[in-house]
Amino acid sequence: MKKIFLLCLLVFLGKSVYALDIVYPKSPNVTISADSSFFIGNTNPKSWLKINGEDVKFNKSGAFAHVINLKDGINTFVIESGAERKTYTINKPFAKSVSKSVYRAPQFVEYNYLKNYLVSDENTPMRETPVDSGINRMSHFQKDIPLIVDGEKQNFFRVVLNDNTKAWVAKSDVKLVVDDFINNPASLKSYEHKQTHEFDIYAFHFDKKTPYVMKEGNPFILTFYNVRNNPNSTYTFEVPIKGNLFGYSGKFNGNTFVLKIRKAPKSIKGLKIAIDAGHGGSECGAISCHCDKEKDINLAISKYLEAELKKRGAHVLMTRKNDVYVGLRERVDFANRHDAAILVSIHGNALPDCANPNMHSGTSVYYYYPQARPLADNVLKSMTKSAATNNDQVRQGSLALVRNTNALSILIEVAYLINPDDSDLLRNPEFQKRCAKAIADGIEKSI
């Protein structure tokens, strides 16, 4: 038995350590439309590595990332390490000749009269600019919110909120109705305030739905538009915030708008924290120099984080506990359904062709709403100190997992799977545990 085990171990080691693995490009015949790309992989660290005769550096574990320049047409690369030799052909499509016709920027078309629309789907974004991406979301609307439109630009309608406030909504998210919202504004009938030990809850009873915007800050400002008997048809409600803002939700339930503001927690004990291990199942995420899948690394770190937070008394909720596919919306809904106060999504980073993986390493933390910025800062600070990762910045980004206001939501790119030294760290359980501890410290610092 023992001999068989040893033999298996040798075969296993032989396969994993002494083979030349090329992780990227994904196959020996690929098309890449960029001026440069890279070879990512690992080889026997005691051997040597050449690409088209040029010496390629690898780290102590044999991991490498080597940038290559691409010319139009077929590019051939011969990769040699010890007795192994692999040939890759990368086709870079010829640049299309630039069309002589003059590019015409899309123009705003103002209507002669106002049109009336209803939001046709739940969670419809209203934006500051007519662009379908970036940090430009003002509100997420429920179905049947009435909107007054005064013009259009490309795929967007311009929404009139009041005399001096305009916004944009995608044409595909609304439907035209025969109505006259401007002459039939909403009326606020009554208002209630109640408290639970976790939330301040404000209910605004209207006779019909109406557009609104919530603005973080102290005070927290909730503005309703097209409301009867108010200057500029605008009704503003201010909530003073004690301590830091720590999650909120606001939406119409029938004709009643319910605003829930979480009271800042005093301790991690009993605090609901959702951990989201990125990707899973058929969705692998990025692949490391060592052929590790991002989904597995994310789950390993998430499980260490779960243990670390439970040890400190938190109530931990996992969006996935094993290797299964979970949709992005489902992950956010899960955290909201369980009233999580914090949502932490764990990922590993990668780069597009034309970047140099040797020039990027370390941890970056993403947030969308300002309320999550202190948490993002604390987690990054703690990661760079305790897990000793490079500071790859806190960034504001429009990612599904951080566009949640109910919880303080951040997404952590722990390190780069395609950076050779980072890829060594990411597979190391001791590093994974250090990350979990560092993230937990950053969370505790934010309470």
Q: Which residues bind Zn ion (CB under 5 A)?
A: 278, 285, 347
- Cβ–Cβ < 8 Å for 424, 356: no
Confirm if 191 and 204 have CB atoms less than 8 A apart. Answer: yes
| Closer of 216 and 283 to Zn ion (Cβ) | 283
- Between CA 342 and CA 404 the distance in angstroms is 10
Give the whole-angstrom CA distance, residue 408 versus residue 397.
14
Task: Tell the smallest beta-carbon distance from residue 31 to Zn ion (Å).
Answer: 24
Q: Amino acid identity, residue 360? A: H
Q: Which is nearer to Zn ion, 251 or 293 (CB)?
A: 293
Q: Which is nearer to Zn ion, 297 or 314 (CB)?
A: 297
Alpha-carbon distance values, 248 to 17, 149, 367 (Å): 50, 29, 15
Element (H, E) at 50: strand 50-51
Cβ proximity to Zn ion: between 125 and 285 the closer is: 285
Q: Tell me how far, at minimum, the Cβ of 79 lies from Zn ion, in Å.
A: 27
Could you tell me the smallest distance in angstroms from the CB atom of residue 152 to Zn ion? 36
Question: Angle at Cα 264 formed by Cα 263 and Cα 266, nearest 5°?
Answer: 120
Task: List the beta strands (DSSP E) in 120-185.
Answer: 124-127, 137-141, 146-153, 156-162, 165-170, 174-176
Nearest CB to Zn ion, comparing residues 387 and 415: 415
User: 83-116 b/e with 16+ CB inside 10 Å = b?
Assistant: eeebebebebeeeeeeeeeeeeeeeeeeeeeebb
Smallest distance, Å, CB 91 to Zn ion? 27
Residue 247 Cβ vs Zn ion, minimum distance, rounded to whole Å: 24
Q: Which amino acid is at 285?
A: G
Identify which of 393, 373, 401, 394 has the alpha carbon closest to the alpha carbon of residue 278. Answer: 401
CB of 372 to Zn ion, least distance (A): 18
Q: Show the CA angle centred on residue 384, arms to residues 382 and 385, nearest 5°.
A: 60
Q: How far apart are CA 167 and CA 337, in angstroms?
A: 30
Q: How far is the CB of 248 from Zn ion (least distance, A)?
A: 27
- Cβ contact 239:204 at 8 Å: no
Which one, 347 or 373, has the nearer CB to Zn ion?
347
Choice between 294 and 353, CB closer to Zn ion: 294
Task: For Zn ion, give the closer residue by CB, 130 or 348.
Answer: 348
Q: How many helices (H) and strands (E) does the chain have?
A: 6, 28
Confirm if 275 and 318 have CB atoms less than 8 A apart: yes
Smallest separation, CB 319 to Zn ion (Å): 13
- How far apart are CB 279 and Zn ion at their closest, in Å? 6
DSSP code at position 338: T
Nearer to Zn ion, 127 or 347 (CB): 347
CA 182 to CA 66: how far, in whole Å? 61
3-state secondary structure of 277: strand
Closest CB to Zn ion belongs to which residue? 347
Residue 294 CB, nearest approach to Zn ion (Å): 5
| Closer of 209 and 360 to Zn ion (Cβ) | 360
